Amino acid sequence: MDLPTLADNLPLPDGYRTEIIDGSLVVSPTPSYRHARIIRLCERMLERDGPEGLEALQWVTVEISQDGDRFVPDLAVFPTAVVDGEGWEGPDWLRAAEDLELAVEVVSPSSALHDWKAKTKGYARAGVPFYLVIDPRKSEIALFSEPESGTYQTVERAVPGASVHLGAPFDLDIEAAALLQ
């Protein structure tokens, strides 16, 4: 049985989800309330200050077409047409990571290695323009941008009192303190 089929049919206890990361099946617990709050704050900021024509969604699955890895970003920002499935031939619960404008992950003890390493590489391979990592344990945020040849060329980091700049089409500053409260 292949990994996508196994992931789709794996019986899981309540509160768990599956992802395919670096060719391995990863089962994770659902997030804490602090984690959920950080994502909601980020979502509100994007709704308030972000451009028209993009939608921020939680709990959606994206596939890295180059290797078949499947991630469930904490927040995925897509053009509305992608959310609506225009031109999409696959299942309704899946979209191509290549169509993301921004992926956001909030680091938890169980996700740190994947969020900082494997997902950074995967989103860069897919050419996702921006990848925002919010790490409450380190009290920092990191914005990866300019993917080229499977690697992000730029990383901006900020701690409370500083911010990172999310470029076009967003063109907004993200203050670390606003997300790490």
Strand partners, 141: 134, 158
CA 170, CA 158: separation in Å to the nearest integer? 18
pLDDT band of residue 23 (cuts 50, 70, 90) is confident
Nearest-angstrom CA–CA distance, 25 and 43: 28
Range of lowest pLDDT (24-33, 75-84, 122-131): 24-33
Averaged pLDDT, 88-115: 92
Average pLDDT in the 139-159 region?
Answer: 97
Average pLDDT over residues 94-123: 93
Per-residue tokens: 164: 């990172």
H-only helix segments in the chain = 3-9, 33-49, 80-83, 112-113, 119-125, 176-179
For residue 109, the model assigns a pLDDT of 83
At residue 57, the pLDDT reads 95
Report the pLDDT value the prediction gives residue 25, as an integer from 0 to 100.
83
Q: How confident is the model at residue 71 (pLDDT cuts 50, 70, 90)?
A: very high
Amino acid present at 123: Y
What's the confidence (pLDDT) of residue 12?
A: 79
> What local confidence, expressed as pLDDT, does residue 14 receive?
75
- The average confidence (pLDDT) of the chain is 92
- Average the pLDDT over each of 32-36, 60-64, 95-99, 153-157 and give the range with the smallest value: 32-36
Phi/psi for 33 (5° steps) reads -65, -35
Find out whether the peptide bond into 29 is cis, omega within 30 degrees of 0: no
Average pLDDT for 68-96: 93
**Tokens 């999409």 sit on residue:** 88
**According to the model, what pLDDT value does residue 32 have?**
83
Confidence of residue 174 (pLDDT cuts 50, 70, 90): very high
Q: How far is the C-alpha of 23 from the C-alpha of 127, rounded, in Å?
A: 19
Q: CA 116 to CA 93: how far, in whole Å?
A: 25
Mean pLDDT to the nearest integer, 166-173: 96
